[in-house]
Each structure stands twice: as C-alpha cells, then as structure tokens.
Structure 1
Amino acid sequence: MATKLWRGNTGSSVLDLQQKLNRNGYSLDEDGVFGSSTYNAVLDYQRKNNLAVDGVVGDETWGSLNRTTVPSRPTTGKDVLTGVSDETYDKLHRLEEGFKPSEAVEAAREVQNSLESVRPGEYRSSFEEELARLYEQISGGKDFSYDAGQDAQYLNYAHLYARRGRETMEDTLGTASGLTGGYASSYAQTASQQAYGRYMQELAELMPELEQSARQQYEASRQRLTDQYDWLSQREQADYKRYLQEQEAWQADYDRAGKEAETLRQAEYNDYKLRLQHYTSMANAEQKASGGVRANTGAAAAEEKKASLSSAAAQSLHRAMSNYFKGGETARAAALAQQYRDRMTPAQKQRVRKLFADNGAQIDL
C-alpha cells in the first residue's frame, strides 16, 4: 500500500509525488514539501483524471500517477513481455493505463451537477413590508388620552343635548310667559335656563362613560393591529418553514446524487484493482511457466469498439437533463444530449426527443 500524503507532509514521498506530477505537465518545486502549490496540483490532477477530488494522495491517485509502464503499441523486443500471451498482455496493458470511471459514473456525477440548476434561491419574505408597517404602528402609537373635542361620539351627544336643551328651554319659556299674559319674567327666564342646564348636566354625567368607550375603542384598535401582526407572523413562519424544508429536500437530493456517483465509482475502482491484480498474477504465472521461452507478439489488440450507452448511464442523463429543464437551462440539456448521442441506442434517443418535446424544445439526434 502506497504512503498516503496530504497537505503539510514532507519527505522523500512528497518529493516522489512532485516528480510524478511534473512528468504530467506541472511545474512544481521539487522540495519535498506538500504545500499550497502541490495541493492545488493534486486537486487539478484528480479532477482531470476523474478521481476523487479531495487533495489527498492515496492508493487511487498513486495508481493513476504510476501508470503508463507499457507503451500503447510495443513492437520492439525490449517492449515485449517475455513469456506472456497476447491476451494477457493486452488486458494488462489496458489496465496499466490507469483507472477510468465509466460513462455511468460520469452521468451520475452530471445528475449532481444538474441539481445546481434547481437549487432554491435565497429566502424572500412576502410579508416583510406589511409586518414592518404594523410594527411601526404598534410600537410608535401614542398612549391613550381623552380629548372630548376630538371624540365624535361626544360631539354627537353634545349636539343632541344642546338641541334638546334649547327646545326644552324654549318650551319652558313659552309656558311661563303664557301664565303671565305673554310677558317674559325673571321666573320664566330662570325656569328655562334650569331646564337647559339639566340637559347639560346629563351630558357632563356621560363624560366618564364616553371616555371609557373611547378607551375601549383605542384598546380594541391596538388589539386588532396586534392580532394582525401575529397572524402575519405565523404565516411568515410557516412560509419560512416551507422554504427550509425545500432547502433540506434539495440538499438531501444533492448529497444522495453525489453518494450514488461516488459509490458507483468506488465499486468500479475496486473491480479495476481486482482485475489488475488478477492479470498481473496471470502474467507472472505465464512467464514462470514458459521459462521465458514463449513471447507475445508485442502488439496490443485493436481498440475495443465503444459499447452503447448503458441503461444506468442513460437513466442518469435523463435525470440530469430534466433538472436542467426545471432550472431553465435548456442549452445545457441540449449540450449533454449531444455529448452522448453517438452512444445512444435508437430507443434512448427517442426518449430524449420526447423529453425535449415535453419541455417545448427540439433536439437533433
């Protein structure tokens, strides 16, 4: 098992890492220090070679860096594995080129990438302005004070009692004058004024009741504002809760898609290591059995014809394109379809065309 390296390590293993990275096109100082430059180079290398992008150099990254021990088309004697059959040589040759995730893994990763298109945006309250207005009314309202001159109810009563008082005063004055032959008298004046005063006294006695009524209306008005504020606050909280649930659901989908892609990649990588170990052992066994006499021809088999897109990869691509459509990114969905069209079966192409048609778009496959 290769030495695992990460940021901060030093020594000969880091120097070996830097030398291998430089042979892959990087320009690192070969100082044996795993610093920022080496860390960024590792991330870039892992990304370009479809490895787990974590900046940690483990078995998978070492295996990728250590590949290319056999040329792609060896023909000279020194390039031929003595005592190994063509079939074994070809299998080993392909495996030693390094681990390459399948299109199913790439498509599964595309599902996670596409989910960025449907990520919920920042929360925007539909009630913020109204809540602010109500809060200002509640917190900025004046304390209760009673001013009869501003009380419509009091003014109505004052008008009513004043009119009735005048009517009673006039009736009293007319009655008293009739008793004296139609001549006004001090008695008549006094009696009429007393009748008017009784109405004014009744109006004065109503003041506490009117003030209490005004207080109740003031308190009821403030309570309505408070109730409205509380009701809107509850709606705000429910709205924000739904938003959090959408965020959590999206994050769960995003994490699940990443986990599915990584699980598939890890399974393929484990299978790759087993096959590499198997054919390495077979080559050693064939060399030992032949005594170095039998040799392969030195020519790797013809390139394997690319198989049609697997059903798993096609399903992942369909999910990814659906996400792009939901996010309004039709161009990205089209680019993804074009990227894999040469590998699609007729049935897979038909399904993609239907997806585009259902979303009001067309695709030429």
Structure 2
Amino acid sequence: MRARAGALVLLCGAVAGCGSAGGAPTTTAGRAGATTARAAGAAAPAAHLRLAGRAALPAPVQLPALVAVGTRVLAIGGLDAADGSVAGIVRVWPGTPRRVGVLPAAAHDIGGAALGARAYAFGGGTAGGPVATITAITAAGATSPAGRLPAAISDTAAVTIGSTAYIVGGYTTTTPLRSVLAFRPGHAVRDVATLPHQLRYAAVAAIGGRILVAGGTDGVHGRREILSVDPVGHRVRVLARLPGPLSHAAGVAAGGTFFVLGGRGDALTSQRAAILAVDPSTGRVRPAGRLPVALSDLAAVQVGGRVLVVGGRDAAGGVHAERWTLQVRP
C-alpha cells in the first residue's frame, strides 16, 4: 500500500523464502557480476527514447498496471489525485484514451502482464489492504476470476516470458517480499526464485528469457542494484548498479534495451525525469533521454515499436493525466 505524505514512509510476492516446484531457488550474490556503468565494458546499444506525442487520459492516475494485449494497451486500476484507489480499466492505446471496464474492486499497485488474448491483474492494494486475487481482463475490458496468489500482496510488478507470467517482489502491509512467482492459467502459482533482498516498487522488464529488475526499495531505503533473474534456472545475480538509489520508476524493454524511466529517491519530492538504458548483456548503464516532466509512480509499456508512458506523480504532489508516446531512436 502507498504511504501518505506526512506519515512515516515505508519506501519503496508472496512468501519470502518459499521453495520452488523443483527444489529451493538459489540466489547468487554476484559480486563478479555487480558492475558499475563505468566498468561494464562493451558499449550498449545506442537507442534513446524521444517524445513523439501526447494525449489526455480520462482522469489523473498514478501506480496503474499497464498491459499491452495485442495492439491494445490497458491501464488497470491505480490511485487518483486524492490517493484513493480506482477501479477503472482504461484503454490508452490506440486512439483517444477511454474507460472500457471496471475491476471487481478498486485497487492500486497491481502487477499486470499479458498472456495470450488477456491481461492478468495480480493482487493490489485496496481500502481494506492487499488482496490475493488474480483477475483476467479481455482487450475489451471484461473481467473474470483467474486464480489466487499464495498471499495478499501489492506494490509488485509482473512480466511475461513465453506462456508464463512472473510476479516480482511486493508487499503484504507488514513485509516487503523477496519472491519471484510464476503463473500460468489453470495452474497453481509457484515460487521460482528468491531475490537477494526484500523489494517493492522496482522497475521490471523481460529480455531474452531473463527478468531484469532495477532499483526498488527494501522497505526503508531505495536500492541501486540491477538484478538479472533466470526463472528457469532459479538463479538471481547482480548485473549492474544504477547511478544512485531509485524506486517508483517504470521499466520497459524496447529495441533489445532495458529502459528505466523516472522514479525517485527516498524523499517523496525527489522525482526524476531521467531515462536510463541498461544493456542486458554487459550491464552498462547510460543516459537515454528525459521525460517531459519529472515523475514517479508512472507506468510504461512497449507496443508497436513505441513506448507508452501513463500517469505519474510530480515533485509537487500533482498526479498526471497524460499518455506520452515515446519513439525508440538512435
């Protein structure tokens, strides 16, 4: 659940340390692989993200799940400008963004990923606390129950590799989590890897069969690590480090590069406009553009050769109602 300004902030799933279906997952500390941007070696691809367009959302939103289902992109849930959970499902692409459906309950900090012709919403924070529900959502916005997580969680992120969705980290209202969970429709959720530290609000994307996880918070301080997770081999290593602690950022894979967009440090008013590019092979980190506004709690997704950025919160506490379109360019 998101902490409110003025309260004690636990900065930025489901049971830490659970075993996997093929034996206990292992974690590699990765000292040899923990490299800074200067020591990463080979040059990363030269792609940048450049602003190409803007559209208005039906309402301001922060912390939505953003999922591409075919050629459509859905923004699922989130928090409104008053930090209240919302239930709306908004089609943000293509065309003019508009509301197309409603979740069974208003929720934010939902993990979202696509499998086949449906988006899946994993957990999320509600007025009564996190939930363990998994909800299937069609491209047209219709919802149906699709299972349950092992525990109620929010503040998580999800990605798709092949026919499996993976849910990374999260929060139970008392504890940030170290789990990486795997979900396939019709199958029980299973634990496939253990992160080296508790983590919520991380930037996450999938490239080449690996899950890349940048920053996030352990519940007290922002993190710098960029982790590479092998969900099949049940291994995690530190690939690189960010220039500084960063949480509440968005992650997206485009053009073979892992982009980390915006985010903030430990302070509620430390929003960033920087876009960073991470080479998934070498771990090299480099600047790759800037957002039009310094934002945390935004969402990003790749669709049709472009990156869409939705919503977010600025340093003054304003919640944004824009869909930014970014092009991947040299």
* TM-score, normalised with respect to structure 1: 0.18
Indicate the structure whose relative CO is greater, using CA pairs within 8 Å and at least 6 residues apart: 1
Higher gyration radius (CA)? 1
Q: Which structure has more strand as a fraction of its residues?
A: 2
Tell me the TM-score normalised to structure 2 length: 0.19
Return the structure number with greater helix share.
Answer: 1
